[in-house]
Amino acid sequence: MSKGVMAAGIIILGILTLLLVNIIQNYSSGSELDFYLLRDTTEAAMIDAVDVNYYQITGELRMDKEKFVESFVRRFAQSVDATRDYDLRFYDINEIPPKVSVLVGSKTSATFKGTDFDIGNKIDAILETKYNEQRTLQEVE
């Protein structure tokens, strides 16, 4: 009888170990994927939000805040996984020079004793150009 109990214990311990490894892998790979998604989405949304007319007139980069937030949320929502809850926070958005600080928090569906584990990825991005002189629209495109 003791060998049967020990075999059942080993099987249960193996199943718990596999479950724990799966949860840890989900958190670590999810965090890494969220970071790359955050980085790429921020860069694309900042480029979308650049005011080309202002750049032609003054030669300085200017970003529209509302257009950035709209583009970021749209792009991020199209690319995320439906099994996680995301919390988007915009801490700092400057129009001139274009700078943003974005925090994305994500939670998985797994909880331990009613406690969620929130993983946050924060990025600070500045958009700059190597050009100082005024250029025409044909040169910009």
> What's residue 94's pLDDT?
82
CB 90 within 8 A of CB 66: no
Each domain of the chain, given as residue ranges in start order, spans 2-140
User: What sign results for the dihedral spanned by CA atoms 50, 126, 74, 91?
Assistant: negative
Q: Residue 41 and residue 38: Cα distance in Å, rounded?
A: 5
Cis ω on the peptide bond leading into residue 97 (within 30° of 0)? yes
Could you report the average pLDDT of every consecutive run of 10 residues in the chain (141 residues)?
Answer: 80 84 66 78 85 78 86 85 77 84 74 64 78 60 56
Q: Residue 48 and residue 24: Cα distance in Å, rounded?
A: 36
> What's residue 26's pLDDT?
62
> What's residue 42's pLDDT?
84
| Cα 106–Cα 110–Cα 115 angle in degrees, nearest 5 | 80
> What's residue 139's pLDDT?
62
> What's residue 89's pLDDT?
84
